Structure 1
Amino acid sequence: MLRTILLTLLVLIIAVGGGAGSVQYALDRFEGFGVLEVGQWSAYPAAGTPDSDPYAKARGARNGTLALGAAEGLIFHASRDAQGRLLDRNCTYRITGATPPARFWTLYAADRSLQPLSPETGMLPALHSREILRGENGSFTVIVSPKAQPGNWLPVNGSGFFVLVMTFYDTPVASSSGFSDLVMPRTTLVEEAGCRG
């Protein structure tokens, strides 16, 4: 009798633990359906709509995030540089180029669960389109680095990998008609700056 109870408990522990572990793995590793990829940036235009896939809904519920509706905007993520390497907090990166048309956009660094990194420098952990310094043609350069940089600097701290999050508000990109000629900035490792640590 005791053996049957112990075996039943063991089976339940394996079933519940394995089920919870597989859900956690799927939410952390599987990107979901309907991804829009532009260079190293990816977005989910259907997130926040009734057509959103179950993984996106579960990820949003777990992280406590609210997705923007299709008429509100679109969120892009980049976890790798243009060469395909994971973004490392110990390295310095250069983001160059232009953005799709939008009334307003923000850029910040986040951890792998998309929680914003809080810099130790006391600076705001995000940049936005109204404060960015631009070239004559409207393009810009942002340096993402743990060390202070001149110009547009996005500070990161700590160690490990991070994700860049760029959110466009009130943009035609959020509708399917804006996908065809989409242009996103490019993120490259600044080789001469190296990586600390």
Structure 2
Amino acid sequence: MLKNAFLTLLSLAIAIGGGGGSVWYALKAQDGVGAIRIGQWTAFPEIGTQAADPYSKARVAREGVLALGRAEGLSFIAERDAGGDQLRRECAYMIEGGFPTARFWTLYAADQSLGVVDTDRPRLAALQSYQVLRQPDNSVIITVGNRPAPGNWLLTEGFGRMYFVLTFYDTPIASSTGLSDVTLPRIVKAGCNA
């Protein structure tokens, strides 16, 4: 009798724990149902539409973000550099390359909750398309780190994981046909503080 009760409770604990853990993992992972990957960047193009999958809807509800509709824009999130390592706040990076056509885009370093990384100088923790210096070929080179750099510089401070969030507003890449030939900038690690 006691053995049956124990086995029943153990089975329930495994089922509830395993189910909850798998849902947490599915919502936390940047890859998954409905995701597209371009280089190091991942996006969920259907997230703000009626056709969004249940995991995307749950992700929006959990994070409390306002999802962009297909006609409004598209957000890409990067959690790894070109070498496959997780992005760290104590490391310096170069984000280099061309940006797709858009009326406006923003880039910021984010913490685990995808909010802007806390810094003493919050206005330096984000960049937007109207303020960046461009190369002659219209590409952009952005230095990311805790030490000021000439040109485009994005401030990050502290230690731990971080993400880059790149959002394009009013862009043709948000349509299903626009994603096939899109290239996004590469994220290259320049070094880390010991």
Are the counterparts in 2 of residues 32 and 53 from structure 1 also a CA contact under 8 Å? no
Farther-moved stretch of structure 1 (104-113 vs 165-174): 104-113
- Render the CA deviation track for 1:22-78: whole Å, top value 9, x for unaligned: 322221136332222111111111111111111111111011012100000000111
Farther-moved stretch of structure 1 (6-15 vs 129-138): 6-15
How far did residue 128 of structure 1 move? 0.1
- CA distance in 1 between partners of 2:182 and 2:49 (Å): 21
- CA distance in 2 between partners of 1:111 and 1:20 (Å): 23
1:185 paired with 2:182, answer no
How far did residue 9 of structure 1 move? 7.0
Farther-moved stretch of structure 1 (49-58 vs 110-119): 110-119
| Code of the aligned partner of 2:69 | G
| Residue aligned with 2:58, SS | helix
Cα 1:8–1:145 shift into 2, 3 Å:
same
- Render the CA deviation track for 1:109-144: whole Å, top value 9, x for unaligned: 112331221222343421000001111221111011
Write out the 4+ residue segments of structure 1 that deviate beyond 4 Å after TM superposition: 1-18
| Residue aligned with 2:132, SS | coil
Residue segments in structure 1 that go unaligned for 5+ positions in a row = none
How far did residue 181 of structure 1 move? 1.7
Match of 1:83 in 2: 83
Give the alignment's TM-score, normalised by structure 2: 0.88
Aligned CA-pair RMSD = 2.2
Are the counterparts in 2 of residues 32 and 56 from structure 1 also a CA contact under 8 Å? no
Cα 1:105–1:162 shift into 2, 3 Å:
same
| Code of the aligned partner of 1:158 | G
In the alignment of these two chains, the number of paired residues is 194
1:195 paired with 2:173, answer no
- CA distance in 2 between partners of 1:177 and 1:29 (Å): 25
